[in-house]
Structure 1
């Protein structure tokens, strides 16, 4: 039985297959999202530290994500994605333990912050190992031709997890306390680990080209860098909203900051669900240009209009714009390599979003301390616009390259 319907769309069986693997991404990012909207307020209001310190602590996660991405990619290509998923789920459970200890020691600000820093670093390890493993696992199960679909589904799982996690985290914190978020994170990590035991491991066969011409991870990183830089610049808009929207709402004495995160993620999911075919129809770079233009408009709305209604509109437009950034250029990055190097390619490409989110905290936190939170979205608008300009140059280079063939 063919995995495609006569119309060329995916049949239900293949959709379920892909979803069963990217479910691990959902669990991982649900754990990441749970404390996301809670930590900035916890660090500034309960522990008494500055917005810049809050940004640094939250962004520390991406230091270890950056350091473990390459290791994860190599591990996936050599041993299959299952071990990488095991490590990720175990790290998530451990981060939940540390988050609970953070709550228990909250009366001692320095000790609580120190434990929270360790928790963020462990969370970063978990994200580093979950980043490429479910995608690669799903690609091996569904076939290389489904790369764009797998990446899109994986994005729905990741940002859906963040959206649900952020909203659920705020609810739990309001009605119980931040320690309960740690307990839920432990349970999710253990459950994800259990589900992974039920899945068969898969390893892509090593091609003759790879045997004859092995390449280092750094070479892979350099090769995907043009696409990664565009993703990095686009990621600053997402990072600013996810890390600082609660402080932004608190500054203007608005309610429902978590709703803003949810609206952003909901429109992100809508973009992935209904427009992912545009990547195959128009090409990854052109779709990325459209995404960057849309994201720029959304951030501009947030910069120009300081009312809660416009904040929701701006977040929605930004989320819709960011929706296809990762898969559009991720498809182009994977095309540069054979299938047995797809894990390394995705891991190297994913490093750029880690860099983006890693620098967002201290960069935007420092900007808030120096100039005020009112200028936060003006700055990110300029950065994402720069990403659009750079992506346009990549498109022109590709057009010229095709014309000379």
Structure 2
């Protein structure tokens, strides 16, 4: 919007948070079932652990497949509509989970309702998150893209961190219907709130074919996907790592990881605009790689704690730093498509981390996943370095003309 340049930091943040709250609703809906559904599917419905894991994974596959479409729709119809569609999908996932709780006496029907709900939640996640980010970018202008993406990340991880324990608490008091009812309620309230906000105008202009959008952002997405693996192996395997070494305190390591992530997001997010996204991403990958190598070679839980903090601090700015550069590669009318495509690589990285790391653990032991993750982050560093060098050569050629 034209008046964004005259706003103070507090006013900019207020404007961003007015739409990023829908990301919070979305990821709270994602976090609430995570610690509850596997037990319900395995213990109450009587299905195998594999089926329980598959039910959880359905959401991630739906998110991965719908990310690019969410951005394309936001470019065409505006981010407000896409956010509202996403919130409807999130709410429907809650309604279907309620139905699954009521039909638990018929396990196959209950499982089918849960699966359908997970698919709706995956679509709701991609639509709500991508739409909210693009909405915020339109509200405060392209110079504040890094700020918008950073706040979107804070809302995401805060909601996920809150969602899992809250879901367990609601499950203890009300069963599956406890978290399901809250998800349905947030979908309705979020839709009502979004409908009352003014829409932003969609940028006019000829949109390039989708495959050309992909060709311009895929290297940024690949670096993001590689860098995400460090986050994935800590969030998924750190408790098993502590148990394999006979240590206690895995929860504290996860807390330190989250603390490093949030602190760097809040304190250092402005450095992306000041020094450039690629420079910040390079430094972030160095820090993340150092943290993972420290965990790999740690001979005490204290060193793992330090490594977890460094990994969280390093990963913190990767998504916004590379994201800023990715959306700059396309015109404003294609930024939604670029953002959705770029974000899909994060989903892909997280989706592949579990099974690949599981194979590594089976062959080379628990510590091997942290060395492998560090090598993948090194790969992300090299990709980003190549992008930076290519950008400098292009700038020199432009100046010499």
TM-score computed with the length of structure 1 as normaliser: 0.85
1:120 is aligned to: 118
Cα distance, 1:2 vs. partner?
6.7
The separation in 1 between residues aligned to 2:172 and 2:340, in whole angstroms, is: 36
Alignment deviations for residues 212-238 of structure 1 (CA, whole Å, 9 cap, x no partner): xx3112210111011111001111222
2:388 is aligned to: 395
Is contact 1:170-1:258 (8 Å) kept?
no
Q: Does 1:202 align with 2:207?
A: no
Deviates more, 1:69-78 or 1:163-172: 163-172
Query: Paired residue for 2:355, among 356, 362, 381?
Result: 362
1:23 is aligned to: 21
Q: 1:44 to 1:315 in 2, by over 3 A?
A: farther
Q: 1:62 to 1:290 in 2, by over 3 A?
A: same
2:295 is aligned to: 302
Query: Paired residue for 2:261, among 255, 263, 268?
Result: 268
Cα distance, 1:66 vs. partner?
2.2
The separation in 2 between residues aligned to 1:37 and 1:307, in whole angstroms, is: 28
Is contact 1:230-1:391 (8 Å) kept?
yes
Q: Secondary structure at the match of 1:124?
A: helix
Q: Secondary structure at the match of 2:337?
A: helix
Q: Secondary structure at the match of 1:132?
A: helix
Alignment deviations for residues 245-278 of structure 1 (CA, whole Å, 9 cap, x no partner): 5655676787776665454333222211111111
2:274 is aligned to: 281
Deviates more, 1:332-341 or 1:355-364: 355-364
Is contact 2:150-2:269 (8 Å) kept?
yes
2:142 is aligned to: 144
1:97 is aligned to: 95
Q: Secondary structure at the match of 2:155?
A: helix
Is contact 1:59-1:362 (8 Å) kept?
no
Q: Secondary structure at the match of 1:60?
A: helix
Is contact 2:83-2:129 (8 Å) kept?
no
The separation in 2 between residues aligned to 1:112 and 1:306, in whole angstroms, is: 46
Query: Paired residue for 1:345, among 318, 338, 357?
Result: 338
2:188 is aligned to: 190
Cα distance, 1:24 vs. partner?
0.7
Is contact 1:299-1:315 (8 Å) kept?
yes
Deviates more, 1:226-235 or 1:360-369: 360-369
Q: Does 1:218 align with 2:216?
A: no
The separation in 1 between residues aligned to 2:249 and 2:93, in whole angstroms, is: 26
Deviates more, 1:333-342 or 1:294-303: 294-303
Q: 1:132 to 1:377 in 2, by over 3 A?
A: same
Q: 1:188 to 1:380 in 2, by over 3 A?
A: same
Cα distance, 1:181 vs. partner?
2.2
Deviates more, 1:240-249 or 1:383-392: 240-249
Q: 1:240 to 1:124 in 2, by over 3 A?
A: farther
Alignment deviations for residues 157-180 of structure 1 (CA, whole Å, 9 cap, x no partner): 112211222343344446664542
2:220 is aligned to: 227
The separation in 1 between residues aligned to 2:120 and 2:251, in whole angstroms, is: 24
Is contact 2:288-2:312 (8 Å) kept?
yes
1:70 is aligned to: 68
Cα distance, 1:284 vs. partner?
0.8
The separation in 2 between residues aligned to 1:114 and 1:200, in whole angstroms, is: 38
Query: Paired residue for 2:373, among 380, 389, 397?
Result: 380
Q: Does 1:238 align with 2:231?
A: yes
The separation in 2 between residues aligned to 1:281 and 1:231, in whole angstroms, is: 21
Aligned length: 396
Unaligned runs of at least 5 residues, structure 2: none
Q: 1:323 to 1:192 in 2, by over 3 A?
A: same
Alignment deviations for residues 85-123 of structure 1 (CA, whole Å, 9 cap, x no partner): 112111112222344455566688776655443333222
Unaligned runs of at least 5 residues, structure 1: none
TM-score computed with the length of structure 2 as normaliser: 0.86
Deviates more, 1:287-296 or 1:101-110: 101-110
Please give the residue correspondences for 1:154-165 in structure 2 after superposition, counting only pairs within 5 Å.
Answer: 154-165=152-163
The separation in 1 between residues aligned to 2:111 and 2:375, in whole angstroms, is: 33
Q: Secondary structure at the match of 1:131?
A: helix
Is contact 1:55-1:243 (8 Å) kept?
no
